[in-house]
Structure 1
Amino acid sequence: MSSSILRQPRAVWAVAFACVIAFMGIGLVDPILKEIAAQLDATPSQVSLLFTSYMAVMGVAMLVTGVVSSRIGAKRTLLLGLLLIIVFAGLAGASGSVGAIIGFRAGWGLGNALFIATALSTIVSAASGSLAQAIILFEAALGLGIASGPLIGGLLGNVSWRGPFFGVSVLMTIALLATAWFLPETPPAGRRTSLADPFRALAHPALLALALVAVCYNLGFFTLLAAGPFALPSLGIMQIGWVFFGWGLLLAITSVAVAPGLQRRWGTIPTMIACLGLFGLDLALLAWWAESEVAVATGIIAAGAVLGVINTLVTEAVMGVAPVERPVASAAYSFVRFTGGALGPYLALRLAEQQGVHAPFWFGAIAVTTGVVIALLGARTVHRALHGAPARHSTDEAAAELVGDTA
């Protein structure tokens, strides 16, 4: 990685730090899923709704992120999102029933939507260097957050299943203070967006194709997160935390250090399709050997290697294909992928209850394979949007500084 990517304004580092904490929320509950089910007398499919409510609300809320940001400015939107996460994470930790936690996780998802969608566009706008460097910085924060979430969840979960929720609330308070202090005021700029803008953006075939691929990918991604702990029955909270820490660490490393090289060598679309295929294969192998805890733990960790590459390439492609404002493109894409993928954890664990431990991973493998088919069918359209539109020429040149020609 070139040293220039590290020379960023303090505001960028403040938002990136907050991103790390925000993304902890994705894997934070993994190590404590079984403990919550045991302590609150809940079934696996019920605790899977901790993911489903979080993602469904986050996906729908993505539609309003641009509307809010264009009216009150990026900084106030970021702070509002952080405040909501602080409040709802704390309330989840204080809850006495799985239903209450599910509801408060939904509120947490609203805060995450306001924060994450605005954070990406803020980092892209404020960072020095190329578009690709800014996206890699964002993906590095994502990877660190995803990697550290299960580990912190395991450490605090060893004390109490409530600990991870309270821990996020405290860390987000620090992130809120850092963002308030270091990020300059960002008054509303440009035109005010409407709720209809993300839907209009999805009329662009390349953006729609990537969003549909991401739905299938997220079905597999969150199936892995939800079903993984229940396929490791003899492992304790901390052991599950270490398994998913290894997964997240590989995701972080490959998103920053491996994805650019593969993209430069093979191109964005071929690399993305190949990695999706490898992820689908990994899920199929997990399904085949689901009764071997060693195989399951190994397969979970190995999945991180391809997920990091997919995350980086899909995010950069979305930022490049749609001839609309980046916050609008991000909102449209995130709405489809999160709301579509929200059903994954619940369906997967219902299948586990009815069909056995193998079924969730077969479900994930089929979903990701469907994504590969959609990506193959839409490859020409996405390629033309990335490289054929004059309006995106300056963006392509900026990205080429780091990752080279992605043709």
Structure 2
Amino acid sequence: MNSSTEATGSIWRQPAQVWAVAFASVVAFMGIGLVDPILPAIAESLQASPTETELLFTSYLLVTGLAMLITSWISSRIGAKATLMIGLALIVAFALASALSGSVDAIIGFRAGWGLGNALFISTALATIVGSASGGSGAAIVLYEAALGLGIAIGPLLGGLLGEVSWRGPFFGVVALMAVAFIAVATLLRGAGEKPRPVAFSAPFVALTRPALAVLAVAALFYNIGFFVLLAFSPFPLGFGAMGIGFTFFGWGVALAITSIWVAPWMMRRMARTTVILVALPVLAVDLIAAGIVAEIAPALVTCIIVGGLLLGVMNTVLTEAVMEATDLPRSVASSAYSAVRFIGGAMAPPIAALLWHAFNSTVPYLFAAASVLVATLTILLGRKVLTHIDDQPADAAVEDAAAITAGDAT
């Protein structure tokens, strides 16, 4: 990533407003894996079944995905700062409500509100950083990707640390950190670049009629099933306490961040994007099958989770760049349409995995995830004819555009 490399010299010399949004971005991405270590504790404390507990992911991801369809329409009318502030305020309010809840049903509902706030925030954060950063867009993108990786890695670890005290601890932690982020953004963000042109409400829906974007979105839906079975279901068969789960998924997040930022761009400089996808997806399916076979052996399952993180990082980055090269649509529109569809896959996966576990055993959910990933592979293979143009662009040429939907790939 040449543009990123050229910018790294100035990445640390940024205005205060850029650091404010970057800090808020870290905390927002932490929210994705924060509840992972406390899922068993919530199930035990609130006398909830694993399926009910997994709905904490479903409500969050489903609302995030649906909200993505309207975030570009909202931000193009009220401006980036107002959108960021509303998103942060909603996260604070619903995280606090979750911490104070006395039933799993209430937390499921409040996580849905949290998802709305997260959609508003993450869909606007990158554009704000790019518009305000010094050192060019390359520096801004590196900074944003660093925030994404840091948040994904720290979320489970913080969840484990605070979860050792109480399952409510991680929620209170998010409240405190996001409140600080809200104050920082409100105080330091003086402008967020040029106000974008108003986007039509129907734009993301129309975008999904484009064959190339439709193929990638459907593939991402099934890929995300594999992603979230690994992330959201694995805490149950692992059998660890909150700290053990936290450390496991800290390693998963670090692995994902490393391959997303460094390995995937290296691969795309040497292979076509569709080739990278068609290599990474079957390998991910094999890893999920292995996870199912060793699901009752904790050290082996941990290894599969970490390997899965490496593969997920590659897939996230490559799919991101592929989507942005698939059409000539504005970045925000392509991002909204693609992210909405793929989040639906993430929303379905956790409760289905829990139901399969209850009906059969801990192996079957991973086999279901592997089958879903193979469906994603078949989708790309059958749709490759409409994707040929995404292989004609050098990887470095798409860096700026691709990062515009990195937020959607944080899941």
Q: Quick one: structure 1 residues 39 and 271, their matched pair in 2 at CA, closer, same or farther if it must change by over 3 Å?
A: same
1:50 CA displacement: 0.2
- 2:260 — aligned with what? 255
Rounded Cα–Cα distance in structure 1 between residues aligned with 2:316 and 2:145: 7
Q: Mean Cα displacement is larger for which, 244-253 or 337-346? A: 337-346
Q: Quick one: structure 1 residues 377 and 127, their matched pair in 2 at CA, closer, same or farther if it must change by over 3 Å?
A: farther
Alignment of 1:103-122 (within 5 A): 103-122=109-128
1:125 CA displacement: 4.4
Task: Give the one of 140, 144, 169 matched to 1:138.
Answer: 144
Q: Which amino acid aligns with 1:296?
A: L
Let me know the Cα RMSD of the aligned residues. 2.4
1:170 aligns with 2:176: yes
Cα deviations by residue, 1:360-405 (Å, 9 ceiling, x for unpaired): 11111111111111122223322315637xxxx9x974649x99xx
Q: Which amino acid aligns with 1:383?
A: T
Secondary structure in 1 matching 2:269: helix
Q: Mean Cα displacement is larger for which, 361-370 or 134-143? A: 134-143
1:310 aligns with 2:308: no
Residues 274 and 391, structure 2, Cα contact 8 Å, conserved in 1: no
Task: Give the one of 324, 339, 345 matched to 1:340.
Answer: 345
Task: Give the one of 79, 92, 96 matched to 2:98.
Answer: 92
Q: Quick one: structure 1 residues 5 and 128, their matched pair in 2 at CA, closer, same or farther if it must change by over 3 Å?
A: farther
Cα deviations by residue, 1:64-107 (Å, 9 ceiling, x for unpaired): 10111011001110111111001101110110000000000000
Alignment of 1:5-404 (within 5 A): 5=8, 7-8=10-11, 9-10=14-15, 11-127=17-133, 134-186=140-192, 189-233=195-239, 235-385=240-390, 387=392, 397=397, 399=399
Rounded Cα–Cα distance in structure 2 between residues aligned with 1:376 and 1:398: 22
Cα deviations by residue, 1:23-72 (Å, 9 ceiling, x for unpaired): 11111111100000000000100000000000001111111101110110
Rounded Cα–Cα distance in structure 2 between residues aligned with 1:188 and 1:63: 22
Q: Which amino acid aligns with 2:47?
A: D
Cα deviations by residue, 1:320-350 (Å, 9 ceiling, x for unpaired): 3221221111111111111233111111111
Q: What are structure 2's unaligned runs of at least 5 residues? A: 404-411
Q: Mean Cα displacement is larger for which, 161-170 or 3-12? A: 3-12
1:129 CA displacement: 6.4
Rounded Cα–Cα distance in structure 2 between residues aligned with 1:16 and 1:314: 23
Rounded Cα–Cα distance in structure 2 between residues aligned with 1:328 and 1:26: 23
1:217 CA displacement: 1.2
Q: Which amino acid aligns with 2:165?
A: V
User: Number of residue pairs matched?
Assistant: 397
Residues 31 and 174, structure 2, Cα contact 8 Å, conserved in 1: yes
Q: Quick one: structure 1 residues 199 and 37, their matched pair in 2 at CA, closer, same or farther if it must change by over 3 Å?
A: same
Q: What are structure 1's unaligned runs of at least 5 residues? A: none
Q: Quick one: structure 1 residues 168 and 6, their matched pair in 2 at CA, closer, same or farther if it must change by over 3 Å?
A: farther
Secondary structure in 1 matching 2:270: helix
Q: Quick one: structure 1 residues 239 and 135, their matched pair in 2 at CA, closer, same or farther if it must change by over 3 Å?
A: same
Cα deviations by residue, 1:193-225 (Å, 9 ceiling, x for unpaired): 232110111122121111111111111111111
Q: Quick one: structure 1 residues 350 and 40, their matched pair in 2 at CA, closer, same or farther if it must change by over 3 Å?
A: same
1:110 CA displacement: 0.3
Q: TM-score, normalised by structure 2?
A: 0.90
Identity of aligned residues (%): 52
Rounded Cα–Cα distance in structure 2 between residues aligned with 1:312 and 1:357: 30
Rounded Cα–Cα distance in structure 2 between residues aligned with 1:165 and 1:355: 32
Residues 131 and 398, structure 1, Cα contact 8 Å, conserved in 2: no
Residues 71 and 188, structure 1, Cα contact 8 Å, conserved in 2: no
1:277 CA displacement: 1.8
